[in-house]
Chain A
Amino acid sequence: MAGSGTAARLLPYLQVAPLALILGVFLVVPILTLVVVSFFDYDSVRIIPDFVWTNYAEVLLSAVTWRTYAKTVWFAALVWAITLFIGFWVAYFLAFHVRSRTVQTALFLLCTIPFWTSNIIRMISWVPFLGRNGLLNQALLGLGAIDRPLEFLLFSDFAVVLAFVHLYTLFMVVPIFNTMMRIDRRLVEAAVDAGANAWQVLTNVIIPLSKPGIAIGSIFVVVLVMGDFITVRLMSGGQSASVGLMIYNQISLLQYPAAAANAVVLLAIVLLMVGAILRVVDIRREL
């Protein structure tokens, strides 16, 4: 029976093989390649296999990199805070105040509207709305609220954050809503029974129990914002930098090793951020 014993031992490995293969080919190999290339040298047309630290030196020792990272983190933090606030209340409303399943589904679909068009079209559509002669400025001028168009509405950090929030709030709503739907409604009653008012129910029961959803949503938003290049470019009118944009520029100029080094640094920073979130909140219950 030795044969069947070996087969039994091999079986679990066979069962994980397909996933391991997919992850290996599409995740591990590319990342390893990235790391390897980040040590290569390059000139204006070629990458030269080598082992040099210059790419990292250029990334880490440049004030521009630090400023760009700081700006990107600042975007991520701001967008995170706003999407969390909006996303939490939308999820709360959907989970605790909308009783009908149909209405819930309909409202959920409404939240996905920003995803019905392509990224570029959606962002270009902001121009006639927020622009100098856009709808918003026209309306405000018409109302007499302002006497000259507000310039900061478009091609500014405000516009970048607005577009991010518009896009990514859904990524906050979905996991938080999901967690909230799993909260036993009797817990709310138990809290009320113990004398909690609406605010106390929220802070002592709903928020603590929504933490895994908040963490997952936060990971989504932070990762998406940290890696973005197109939103920042289009909404700031190219006037703001982001790490993604920096990498994109390097790739455009065939500076693959520099881009790879930058990507490795970005990856490390994003992993640290995700790690920090996971340290604070245990999300295993949700997975």
Chain B
Amino acid sequence: MTDDHADRPARPASATRRRLLGAAAGAALGSGAVTGFPTLWAQNIRNVTLRQFGTGVSALNPIAEQVKKDLGFTLSMTALDTDAVTQRAVTQPRSYDIADIEYFVCKKVWPAGVLQPLEVKKIALYDKIVPIFTTGKLTPESPIAQGTAPHTVSFVESKGATAFAPHPTEWMTLIPTIYNADTLGIRPDLVGRPIRNWKDLVDPAFKGKASILNIPGIGIMDAAMVMESLGTLRYGDKGNMTRAEIDRTIAFLIEQKRAGQFRAFWKTFDESVNLMASGEVVIQSMWSPAVTAVKTRGIPCVYQPLAEGYRAWGGGLGVAKHLSGLQLDAAYEYINWYLSGWCGAYLNRQGYYSAVLDTAKRHMSENEWGYWMEGKPAAADIMGPDGKLLDKAGSVRDGGSFTDRMGKVACWNSVMNEDRYMVQKWNEFIAA
């Protein structure tokens, strides 16, 4: 019976959660034991408060609650938007202890000298971190994607260095927390044909029904994916365009805009959800949780994998320069805990990816791991962290397995050398 079917998995799921919570506490204790590293279980660590700020994606209160439970100290979280995060990181370095920032933001922020690098030897699970963040290659034969690939800004030569090291060193800038591969979102019920390439965004069939995001650094990269897909232009590095490349890309966007291809440009999560849910737009740049938000309204929406690959982004935890002594020890403790599994499972379950997969796997059910990471059809209904139904039994995650998705990254979110020029040109496009 369908009723039974819908009802049954809920019980195992919640049972799993309870079991996991117990296991998480144990894992935290065990993380020190695994590496033989002296854990800081001094009583006074309870008085420590670490102030973390970051984007809404990873500033999640359940994480702070779990930190209190597992590690005993207080983590206070502030969620800001990406732009505000960059500003805060550079202009008010004393207002935070832990910066949860994206890698391309790190490229901007690090030279300002407001963060201190982390000692690799103090990171217990360093060797288990997904190699995207260390060598840049998911598998030894993977190509390295364009843009601000995380590994290019992950290391510095020494403690005081403001320039990035081209290869892994003993000093890491950020410890990865959360990352994902972005693509186009579509309304399968309204597009009326299979969508396979980035160039479908500018298909005249979707005239007045397409959208692109109006955040210059990311929007121009989506446009570049489209240009390459059309075969109009081949970029040296989509994440670091030359002026000529910028000019051609913007000229192309203006042409499309004048032809009435775009219904709107969006800037916030909610806008993208509304555009899609209302049917004003049937194909657009989108973020993974926005697709989920449309789906939970009962409206069909697919995060469509495309032949040219994904545009990826990732974030990590950085430590403020002013941190030292017990606070710095607590920060290391927190970072090690972050990689130890509970957190990874929590993030994976939302459709993001975590930095250390092995430990996360231990905190997920077989069904969850299969659905989220291996691209297998769900054996039972998939629930979100809030207990709401995300996907029905039998369905498959858009884009398939972790390696299918993260192995097909064409470009990482980035900040260009010609940033200033690019923004001027982008404004020209918006004003056109």
Contact = CB atoms under 8 A, between A and B. Distances in A.
B431 A241 contact: yes
Interface stretch (B38-46, B198-206, B257-265): B257-265
A238 B266 contact: yes
A166 interface: no
A155 B263 CA distance: 7
B423 interface: yes
Contacts of A254: 83, 86-87, 90, 108
A44 to B, nearest CB: 5
Contacts of A155: 263-264, 280
B214 A44 contact: no
B245 to A, nearest CB: 18
Interface string B235-250: 0000000000000000
B423 A249 contact: yes
Interface size class of B (residues with CB under 8 A): 35 or more
Main secondary structure of the interface of B (DSSP, over half): helix
A44 B108 contact: yes
A255 interface: yes
A132 B264 contact: no
Given A44-B108, A155-B264, A255-B420, A241 B427 contact: yes
A287 B109 CA distance: 50
Nearest to A234: B271
Contacts of B307: none
B427 A237 contact: no
Interface string B398-432: 00000000000000000100011001101110110
B279 A133 contact: yes
A276 interface: no
Interface in A253-278: 253-255
A241 B428 CA distance: 9
A35 interface: no
A68 B431 CA distance: 6
Most B CB contacts (10 A, CB to CB) among A45, A131, A252, A254 go to A45
Given A58-B424, A64-B428, A67-B431, A124 B270 contact: yes
B419 A249 contact: no
B257 A45 contact: no
Contacts of A71: 431
Nearest to A238: B265
Interface size class of A (residues with CB under 8 A): 35 or more
B216 interface: yes
B385 interface: no
A104 B216 CA distance: 49
A239 interface: yes
A45 B83 contact: no
Given A154-B280, A238-B430, A253 B271 contact: no
A239 B265 contact: yes
B83 A252 contact: yes
Contacts, number: 94
Contacts of B108: 44-45, 254
Nearest to A237: B264
Interface in A31-69: 44-46, 58, 62-64, 67-68
A207 interface: no
Given A46-B90, A249-B423, A252-B83, A64 B112 contact: no
A138 interface: no
A166 B244 CA distance: 43
Contacts of A124: 270, 274
A128 interface: yes
A250 interface: yes
Most A CB contacts (10 A, CB to CB) among B111, B279, B427 go to B427
Nearest to A128: B278
Contacts of B208: 151
B279 A250 contact: no
A234 B431 CA distance: 15
A154 B262 CA distance: 12
B267 interface: yes
A279 B428 CA distance: 35
A239 B423 contact: no
B90 A238 contact: no
A149 to B, nearest CB: 10
A15 B83 CA distance: 43
Nearest to B277: A127
B229 to A, nearest CB: 23
Contact of A131 (B215, B278, B428, B430): B278
B276 to A, nearest CB: 11
Contacts of B424: 58, 62, 64
A133 B87 CA distance: 40
Given A45-B90, A127-B278, 10 more contacts: A44-B419, A68-B427, A237-B265, A238-B264, A238-B265, A241-B430, A246-B431, A249-B430, A253-B83, A254-B90
| 10 residue pairs, one from A and one from B, having the closest CB atoms | A237-B264, A238-B265, A241-B431, A252-B83, A238-B214, A64-B428, A155-B264, A45-B108, A68-B431, A241-B430
28 contacts: A44-B415, A44-B419, A44-B420, A45-B86, A45-B90, A45-B112, A46-B90, A63-B428, A64-B427, A64-B428, A120-B270, A124-B274, A131-B278, A131-B279, A151-B208, A233-B214, A234-B271, A237-B264, A237-B275, A238-B265, A240-B431, A241-B427, A241-B430, A249-B427, A252-B83, A254-B83, A254-B87, A255-B420
